[in-house]
Structure 1
């Protein structure tokens, strides 16, 4: 049986309802709707005649048993107003976020709301902009640090051969071209000049990679990329009697820049071939899998390895763990730069005469 309620005072109705911009409703002690204003009708999308006399749980069944519903009943009992912030309502015409306040008016419960959708959206946009600005700032700080480190290493590593070349030139100027000492000095100048040229060429390569860093990505198949790398290193692979085991079954593809992915795998392969152990066949194992929600590539070899306490230095520019073969120490630096620039991470585990394992987590 529908419970009836007396008509609410017209003065209260006029003051509280009809001129309100936001939705307002009045309920009796049974939580039945006594009246609603036009803003509530428009927002909720239910005709006014379908409100009046209906219980609040008929219109909003999800309120049953909630803190909000119980608070409304407490207001009727105690007369103490209560409020809620950042509520969500999905009507036929819109999705709004609002603040709600419930208060007692005579023998009735008044509920007034304030649409704060635009305010909250603006705040969220500001938070997003702030986060974006923070990321840009952190990126600039990282780039500045990289530039400082790069400049320091470049200057430091070029200073020594330049000083040597200057000394050798002075020796040439002070020596007799017909003496037996002249030729060895010139030969040393050739060696030092080559070292300088190689390092300058390497620096140019690094600068080119950093300057032309592309964020263009496409779906890459690991097995196809590795096939190209094995083909380009076929002579070294055969010479080292290399055994290569691949398992890309868990994560066969990756969305990545093609040139950068090939550079990463090529440098890892080149290092493994270059620093293989002379007393055993080179064995390389490459796998991909998902770890902690991130695509992870593991590249493991049984080569010469190095002391694990040097692991934090291996990715530095011109840093080399072994000097018995030719190299400038830029391959791992490039790998590290590319992976970090893409938001990933690379770690290395190694043991002397046992081998090295690189673990790359892509973003």
Structure 2
């Protein structure tokens, strides 16, 4: 009879510990699961119930039966690893519903038996942190694009200015002609300033959520033609446009740079001793808006088509260029979840297709 109080005391202590554990699980705001060594879900916090749409009927089920609710495909393998090694596991995971968590799996160790009797899994929402990191990665890519674009896209306007200055230096012109040239020179300087300002406009980029604006294709095409006026006149390029979709929600500076680069390349890679003939078209393609720029120029060799968007890739060594234009275009398109494709045949011409998400 003397031992009974001791047993009652141990039982009371066990009940108290169980109540404390139950109280903790019921009040914590952190999603947590308790899974035993047989992979049976024994307990979960209300936060886990909310995040993973669990119900009390899931208690007692094999974790495999509820893993679809948790939406993390390797959770069983991870639990097994922790139970076998008796070491904590920490990793960043993305569930199938695209949410990011820091997952910590801790072994529940029975000290007397020196074995793991299950695991406690904690999920910490790090979605905002991941999005910020992705924002900084995008910002880094944008800065890289800006540096390349500034050096690449200002060549056309600079060429216009150089050409007009050369005309002014030649034989004396009438006052009316000089005024016309000066007006054109002033317009070219204004376009150059506008281009540089657009490319260097990074004030709001650190927000990582810059709203796209409605960009009018005809306006952007005219801007590109104006920037390339010197090359267009020099080659007598014929540029045909068919605008079925008038605009797109996108970064204006990026659309301008995309059109400028594709048009510039179409002129640059025309066949020797022939006038460039270029077709620019916009249309609806499924859920996307499609911009197509086609030419009848030199085309691209079959073995080089796959690398056409690589940085510093040169399709024709005899044509002046840095090999970054199409790399910039691809980066800009993909930064807004679009895509770009090319169809080309050497000696027949090329067609570039840019798909903007509408």
* TM-score between the two structures when normalised by the length of structure 1: 0.44
**Structure with greater contact order relative to length (CA < 8 Å, sep ≥ 6):** 2
